[in-house]
Amino acid sequence: QVQLVQSGAEVKKPGASVKVSCKASGYTFTSYGISWVRQAPGQGLEWMGWISVYNGKTYYAQRFQGRVTMTTDTSTSTAYMELRSLRSDDTAVYYCARGAGGDCLDWGQGTLVTVSS
């Protein structure tokens, strides 16, 4: 069965960076994109972007342009999302999901990133 297993919770100081991993199994990793979606406490879902695992092309939401980098390692079937210059309002649960363009069938369990001084 398809599984996406994310890295554990992180606590970061403002201005720092965080890199969340998402290890995929149960399907051909290069056949699907990986999307990243976040959810601030008590808030709705926010799309951050997605990466084509096949060719590495990335599509970022405008508000994260210049601050986010999405990558993949096909040798380990792992996707990564790095967010830089963290602010307190970046505190959220970050999800990876298999798919692109809103069509995400399988999701990771989520990674809580807390930004606090």
Partner 1 sequence: QSVLTQPPSASGTPGQRVTISCSGGSSNIGSNSVYWYQQLPGTAPKLLIYRSDQRPSGVPDRFSGSKSGSSASLAISGLRSEDGADYYCAAWDDSLSGVVFGGGTKLTVL
Binding segment (CB under 8 A) for partner 1, from list 15-23, 24-32, 69-77, 100-108: 100-108
Q: Nearest 5 degrees, angle CA 24-CA 27-CA 32?
A: 80
Q: How far apart, in Å, are the Cα atoms of 41 and each of 30, 63, 85, 94?
A: 32, 19, 20, 11
Q: Does 76 bind partner 1 (CB under 8 A)?
A: no
Q: Cβ of residue 22: shortest distance to partner 1, in angstroms?
A: 12
Helix (H) or strand (E) holding 4: strand 3-6
Please report whether residue 107 would count as binding partner 1 according to CB under 8 A: yes
By CB under 8 A, tell whether 95 contacts partner 1: yes
Q: Is 102 in the site for partner 1 (CB under 8 A)?
A: yes
- For partner 1 (CB under 8 A), the number of binding residues is 22
Residue type, 109: Q
Element (H, E) at 80: strand 78-83
Residues at the site binding partner 1, with contacts judged by CB under 8 A? 35, 37, 44-47, 49, 59-62, 95, 97, 101-105, 107-110
